[in-house]
Every structure is written in C-alpha cells, then in structure tokens.
C-alpha cells in the first residue's frame, strides 16, 4: 500500500476518534499530500523517520513560520502513530519524530468578561449547553476533564469559613497524567448542574454514565454556534482561561 492510499482512512480515523474537527483533518491531508509530493508516493513500509526530517529541513530553508513547521511535525507524528497502529509499520520512532517539533511561543487567548459569558448562556436554549458554558467558566475545568465527568464525581461538603459553615459543591476530575484533583464550584454553577442532572435522569431512566457523552468536536461546534448567536468569540480554552483571569482579579 502506498502513502497516498492511506490518506482517506487516516483522515477518517481522526474524525471518528473525536480528536480533530473535520476542517482540521482537511488541513492535515493537505500537509500529507505536500509531504508525499516531496518524498515520493512510496510504499508505507519503506517510510523512514529521515523522510520527515528532510521535509522539515526543506520548510526551514524556505523560512516558513515556526508555527507552520511545528504543525507539520505534529501531523507527521499522528500519521506515524496511525501507520503503526492500523498498518503495523514498525520502523518509525514516534518520539524521534516528535523531537523534531520546534518550540512555539504560546499567546494566551483574550479573556471573556462576565457579561459576555451571560450572553452565551442566554443564547443557549438547551440545558446541556447552559451547563457546558457555566461549568467551563465557573470552575476552570479542562474540556478533557469535563468529558470524563460522572455523577459520582460530584459531592456536597460543609466547609468552615470566616462567616461560619457553608455548603459547597465539589467535583473530582482526572487531570493530566490521570492525577485526581478536586475543584470547588462558584456562584450559580451548582444550580445549573443539578438542573442538568435532573434532565439527564429524566431522559435516561435506565441510568447514564458520563455527563457529557459526546466528543470534543461536538461540544466545540456547540460553543462556536453559541458564540455566533451571542456575537462572542469563544472556545473551551477561552472559557477556562477566563476563569483563571477572573480568579487573579479577585486576589
């Protein structure tokens, strides 16, 4: 099988796994076709790590942006992983490919104001979308953590503060490296979550597993739709970043 014959399946594997949006996979395909045009449409078992290195070196010689080179190398590592997993191509060191990726300076997204988040909430007609917006903004949870959330991860506790005892709702999530961490709710996110739990119970009388059972790409598109309705530029990371900025402002 030649490299070009794998591209449709590679693209499908990205969408089915929920790891990438369709428009992103189109970009991945373009990069891979450019790669094939340079190294040749060889048999997949003839592919070597050096082929990726040669292509990257050509990009550097053309003085392409560091971010463009980094994106290409990321695509190569995903493609190599796909070949190893689905086509038993063994002579590819994924880690060696990843080490080719240049460091890219990351800029933080612009934080949303609370009134902008309320516009998103008002634009949401579905209780699941309302819960999604509030949990991302009022807890700062990562979207990957949110997608793993189950009902048993939610608990109420009585804590002692300066004004006396107070009921607080917490969620336990598995963060990076599968390390558990607890996150307290703030403002009215608990009320939204309880409404959403009642809705899930009514819709699933036989029980349910995850609170947000769909893929990352599905919820990303939902947020994009809400952003268009509310005229607010938003993504899961923007909501998480906005939570962090809000915490810093209160200090």
Residue entry with tokens 């268009």: 228
DSSP, res 45:
G
Q: Report the mean per-residue pLDDT for the chain.
A: 84
106 in any annotated domain? no
In a domain, 81, yes or no: yes
Q: Read off the pLDDT of residues 215-242 as tens digits, 9 standing for 90 and up.
A: 888 888 899 999 999 999 898 888 988 8
User: Do 182 and 142 belong together in one domain?
Assistant: yes
Residue 107 lies in a domain: no
Residue 172 pLDDT grade (very low, low, confident, very high; cuts 50, 70, 90) = confident
Q: Are residues 188 and 67 part of one domain?
A: no
Same domain, 91 and 129: no
- The verdict on 151 and 238 lying in the same domain is yes
- Final residue before a domain boundary, out of 98, 130, 148: 98
Based on the fold, state whether residues 9 and 57 are members of the same structural domain: yes
In the chain, the DSSP E strands lie at 154-161, 164-174, 180-184
Q: Is residue 105 part of a domain?
A: no
Of 48, 63, 98, the residue that ends a domain is: 98
Residue 48 falls within a domain, yes or no?
Answer: yes
Please answer whether residues 169 and 155 qualify as being in contact, where contact means their C-beta atoms are separated by less than 8 angstroms.
yes
Residue 223 and residue 158 share a domain: yes
pLDDT of residue 123: 93
CATH code where residue 121 lies: 1.10.443.10
Looking at the structure of the chain, the number of domains it has is: 2
Is 103 part of a structural domain of the chain? no
Together in a domain, 130 and 83: no
Domain CATH code at residue 63:
1.10.150.130
Q: Residue 191: its pLDDT value, please?
A: 79
pLDDT of residue 21: 60
Cβ-based burial of 188 (10 A; exposed 0-12, middle 13-18, buried ≥19): exposed
**121 and 242 inside one domain:** yes
- Pair of tokens at residue 148: 């793993």
For 147-201, give the DSSP string.
TT-BGGGEEEEEEEETTEEEEEEEEEEE-GGG-EEEEE--TTHHHHHHHHHHHHH
The tokens of 142 are what?
A: 């990562």
Domain span holding position 185: 114-250
CB atoms within 10 A of CB 242: 23
Instruction: Give the model confidence (pLDDT) of 109-122 as tens digits.
Output: 678 888 898 999 99
Residue 209: per-residue pLDDT = 84
Domain shared by 62 and 184, yes or no: no
pLDDT (tens digit per residue) in 4-63: 999 999 988 877 655 556 577 888 999 999 999 999 999 999 999 999 999 999 999 999
Residue that is last in its domain, among 40, 69, 98? 98
Residue 138 inside a domain? The answer is yes
Residue 104 in domain: no
Task: Say yes or no: 131 and 94 in one domain.
Answer: no
- State the sign of the Cα–Cα–Cα–Cα dihedral 213, 168, 134, 199: positive
Q: Which residues contact 172 (CB under 8 A, 6 or more apart)?
A: 153, 155, 180, 181, 182, 183
Question: Are 40 and 74 contained in the same domain?
Answer: yes
- Please report, rounded to a whole number, the percentage of residues in the chain having pLDDT higher than 70: 83
Residues 153 and 61 reside in one and the same domain: no
């Amino acid at each position: 099988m030649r490299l070009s014959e794998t591209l449709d399946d590679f693209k499908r594997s990205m969408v089915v796994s929920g790891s990438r949006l369709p428009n992103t996979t189109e970009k991945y395909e373009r990069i891979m076709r450019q790669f094939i045009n340079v190294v040749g449409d060889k048999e997949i078992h003839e592919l070597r790590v050096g082929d990726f290195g040669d292509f990257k070196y050509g990009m550097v010689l053309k003085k392409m942006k560091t971010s463009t080179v980094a994106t290409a190398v990321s695509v190569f590592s995903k493609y190599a992983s796909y070949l190893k997993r689905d086509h038993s191509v063994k002579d590819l060191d994924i880690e060696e490919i990843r080490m080719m990726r240049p460091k890219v300076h990351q800029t933080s997204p612009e934080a949303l104001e609370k009134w902008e988040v309320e516009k998103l909430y008002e634009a949401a007609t579905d209780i699941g979308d309302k819960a999604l917006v509030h949990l991302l903004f009022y807890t700062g949870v990562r979207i990957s953590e949110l997608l793993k959330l189950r009902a048993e991860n939610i608990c109420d506790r009585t804590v002692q503060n300066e004004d006396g005892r107070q009921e607080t709702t917490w969620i336990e999530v598995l963060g990076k490296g599968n390390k558990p961490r607890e996150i307290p709710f703030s403002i009215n996110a608990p009320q939204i979550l309880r409404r959403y739990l009642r809705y899930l119970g009514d819709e699933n009388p036989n029980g349910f597993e995850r609170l947000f059972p769909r893929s990352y790409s599905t919820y990303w598109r939902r947020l994009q739709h809400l952003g268009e309705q509310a005229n607010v530029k938003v993504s899961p990371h923007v909501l998480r970043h906005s939570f962090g900025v809000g915490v810093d402002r209160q200090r």
